[in-house]
Structure formats: C-alpha cells, structure tokens
Amino acid sequence: SYIDMRGAVGLTHLFLRERVALGDRVVDATCGNGQDTLFLARLVGPLGMVWAFDVQEEALAKARTHLSEAGCLSRVKLLQAGHEQLAAHVEGPVQAVVFNLGYLPGSDKACITLPETTLAALKQSETVLFPGGIIVIAVYTGHPGGREEGAAVEQWVASLPYQSYSVWCSRQINRPSTVPYVIVVEKLVPGEQCGQP
C-alpha cells in the first residue's frame, strides 16, 4: 500500500519501511500517542522489539491502548522516561531510531522536545545503531524554540563524517518554510562501496 507522503511523518515511514524488517530491534524516541510506535511494531513483527520513550504519562496510556487494540503491545516496551536516557534502557544494537520532535498535538503544548536532551538522545542513538541502520527525525520549526532545536540537530548531523554516515535533509519546497521536514542519518556498513550506476 502507498504511504501518505504529504507530511514529514509519512516520509519518515517510507524510510523505515525500506530499512526495518521482521525481527528487528528499533526505538521510538518520542512515542506520544503511539502512531510511529505502532508503525514500527508492525514492521518488526512478533519477534521484534520496540523501545518507546515519552515523558507524558497520558500520552503513553493512549499509546498502550492503541497498541493493545492492534495486538502489538507484547513487542513494545513503553518507557515513561526522557529519551536522553536511551542508552540506559535499550539493548542494542538497533536497526532504527525515530524522533518526532516538538509537542504532541492535543496535549500540553509546553511539553516540547528540547535541544539539549534531543542532542543527548541523538548521540546515544548513534552508539546503539547497527551498521546499515537509520535515525529518522521529523523536525518542527513552527513553535517557539523549534527553529533553534532544528538548527542544533542540523549542526550535529552535519558534523558526522561522510565516510561513516550518509545524512539527508528533505523539505517540501512547495510549502511554507515552517512545515516540518525530515532528516535521515544512515550508519554506513564499513567497507561497503557506494554503488555507481
């Protein structure tokens, strides 16, 4: 089936569907109501594992309900913890880590992801990532602080050596500059050559 690519979340799902397989271990660093968590849980199947972090109890409760109704709860570890504690909880290596930054629509708009903790989580994600694995980040700049967070994320990903990481930034250039955009970091498999046509 087609993935709806009208927004950043759809595009992140496209990358995840390409790279995550049955039995894989993955992380949702910003679980919220569990939209991405459920997508990941379906990709990894019953033998896979998803670690899902959020600081909001209410959001995690909603995610639990959605996952349970979909029959996927047993393959998900829902953690009420900041993603800056990722490495303490996740048994790596993992195939993918997902970040959906900003605030959760319909909940406390003051509860936003922040540059310092987001960067801490990104750095830890990189250490638990399998070669060939990806970090996908949906970046929101429309709320106060969002632009600064996006800049901090871009600065960090831009510093990753190209010999070891492939880093992409994808924007919808026919929409206002405030719409969310996607950053993808692929950890390259050592020794693998870039295929030339």
Residue with smaller CB distance to ligand SAM, 49 or 51: 51
| Interacting residue with ligand SAM among 73, 76, 90, 100 (CB under 6 A) | 100
- What gap in Å lies between CA 33 and CA 78, rounded to an integer? 11
Rounded alpha-carbon distances, angstroms, from residue 197 to 152, 191, 194 = 35, 18, 10
The nearest distance, CB 35 to ligand SAM, in angstroms, is 3
| Cβ-based neighbours of 193, under 8 Å, separated by 6 or more | none
| Interacting residue with ligand SAM among 30, 95, 125, 141 (CB under 6 A) | 30
Residue with smaller CB distance to ligand SAM, 65 or 166: 65
Contact 81, 53 (CB under 8 A): yes
Contact 52, 31 (CB under 8 A): yes
Stretch that binds ligand SAM, among 14-22, 96-104, 161-169, 177-185 (CB under 6 A): 96-104
Residue with smaller CB distance to ligand SAM, 122 or 157: 122
Cα-Cα end-to-end distance for the chain? 28
Does 102 bind ligand SAM (CB under 6 A)? Our answer is yes
Footprint on this chain of ligand SAM (rule: CB under 6 A) = 30, 32-36, 53-56, 59, 82-84, 100, 102, 104, 111, 113, 117
